[in-house]
Amino acid sequence: MRDLPLDGRRIVLGVSGSIAAYKAAEIVSRLVQGGAEVHVVLTSHAREFIGAATFRGLTGNPVLTDVFDEPYDGRMAHISLAQGADLFLVAPATANLLAKMANGIADDVLTTMLLATDAPVIAAPAMNTVMFDHPATVANLSTLRQRGVEIVEPAEGRLACGSDGKGRLADPDAIVAAVHARIRRSCDLTGLRFLISAGAGSEPIDPVRLITNRSSGRMGVALARAAARRGGAVVLVAGHRSVEPPPGVEVVRFDTTASYRAACLERFPACDVFIGAAAPADFTPVTVSQTKIRRDSSGADLMIPLRSNPDVIAELAAQKDSRLVVGFAAESEDLRTRALEKLRAKGLDLIVANDITAEDAGFDVPTNRVVLVWPDGRHEDLPLMTKDELAHQILDRILGMTGLASRTPSPA
Ligand code: CTP
């Protein structure tokens, strides 16, 4: 028997109360044909539109409708399924369900499971155009996207209420394709070892003062999370004030560029891909005062001589052999040209350049807008997206560069 692309994958499908609920049956059927083990969860309003028997028949599994349903594997069914899922799909997702998801409300079995899962979530909204355009829905979708929920955009067309506009549930083909793409991503980095850096460096001036920068570590942490989710083995070298590292990743902390360099050099031989998203300090005080530097009573300026720190990524790239070395470039002008110069000067395989003067990109914001630049001068402008999504896009390009991209089966 030939391998199916969703073989061995457990997908939970949540159906909420929209007239489009009947289309969930087509989606389930396609997922089951693709080899997936599908478990359906219905809200009470969904059951007004379609019965549990349809889904039980299509999946061969019991359908969850209540938190007090019979246990699975000796555990509460909803918790057991939420935690064992490879992917959580919500289709159709009503405005009300999206609002509950965005606010962490868990007042029925579906919303409780959505809070209890750490599987990737895809939601396919369906509603009337006015509801879709309502500022509350727009804000809820934006919150969910920022949290990494993938939204399959609704289509334009004739709506159940008789009007025309955007809000129809996306075509089942598009929803099933999004599931395949996400599942492919869930294991396509298996066997690759990543060394990823994140966050700001800091250099002490005296026992209380530091030289540091505004990097929050979000981009590097997003890369580490995404690489681990996709099956990669990840070591994260993280600045002390970086955002929380993701689970399933080995963390090594750094502060000074000297400690960053030591951690990277030690781990580099055992990696296949190095991604330098950290912002180690470029300069360090020539001497560190052992006592707190006192303010001069005359109000005279304080001069602190700074010495240049080594360029760690350039040093790693010089000994890379078959490893890939990917860097970041924070620029405030001539983005593409400067990035290409930086990439060539440091001997990198790819550079991710962002304009740090843009409000929605760069330091300490959840979104980024970057240009990817390769050594031959080829470049790709990516649109504004969350750092989580950008992490996946960067990993997709890296995977293509390793020549391992064709290892996993495509959808039938
Ligand atoms: N980098 C590094 N070691 C340093 C400084 C930077 O490894 N001492 C790495 C960063 O992790 C990033 C890349 O170099 O991947 C570019 O960082 P950036 O701050 O944009 O460039 P710099 O080389 O510091 O140049 P400049 O600040 O002059 O733009």
- List Cα–Cα distances, 280 to 201, 221, 262, 303, 328, in angstroms: 4, 15, 12, 22, 12
- Residues 177-210 pLDDT 10s: 999 999 988 889 999 999 999 999 999 999 999 9
Global confidence as pTM? 0.77
Q: For residue 10, what is the DSSP state?
A: E
Q: Which amino acid is at 328?
A: F
Judged by DSSP in three states, 319 sits in coil
Q: Over range 234-259, report the average pLDDT.
A: 94
| pLDDT at residue number 411 | 43
Distance 303 CA to ligand 1 centre (A): 24
What is the rounded average pLDDT of the residues 245-253?
92
List, for residues 41-65, the tens digit of each pLDDT value: 999 999 999 999 999 999 999 999 9
Residues framing ligand 1 (Cβ under 6 A)? 257, 276, 278-280, 282, 309, 311-313, 327-330, 342
Say yes or no to pLDDT of 412 above 50.
Answer: no
Helix-helix angle 23-33:172-185, to 10 degrees? 40
DSSP-assigned beta bridge partners for residue 204: 210
The pLDDT value given to residue 81: 86
Query: How confident is the model over 318-376, as pLDDT tens digits?
Result: 999 999 999 999 888 899 999 999 999 999 999 999 988 887 776 767 778 899 999 99
CA distance linking residue 202 with residue 315, whole number of Å? 20
Task: Tell me, in angstroms, the distance from the centre of ligand 1 to residue 234's CA.
Answer: 22
Top-level class of domain 193-293+301-402: alpha beta
For the chain, the domains span 10-185, 193-293+301-402
Residue 42 backbone dihedrals phi, psi, to 5 degrees: -115, 135
Distance CA 98, CA 209 (A): 45
Which atom in ligand 1 lies closest to the alpha carbon of residue 313?
A: 7
Could you tell me the fold of the domain covering 10-185? Answer: Rossmann fold (3.40.50)
Confidence band (pLDDT; 50, 70, 90) for 82?
Answer: confident
Among 215, 275, 316, 342, residue to substitute to test ligand 1 (most atoms within 8 Å of Cβ) = 342
pLDDT at residue 410, as a whole number: 43
Tell me which residues are annotated as active site.
Answer: 161
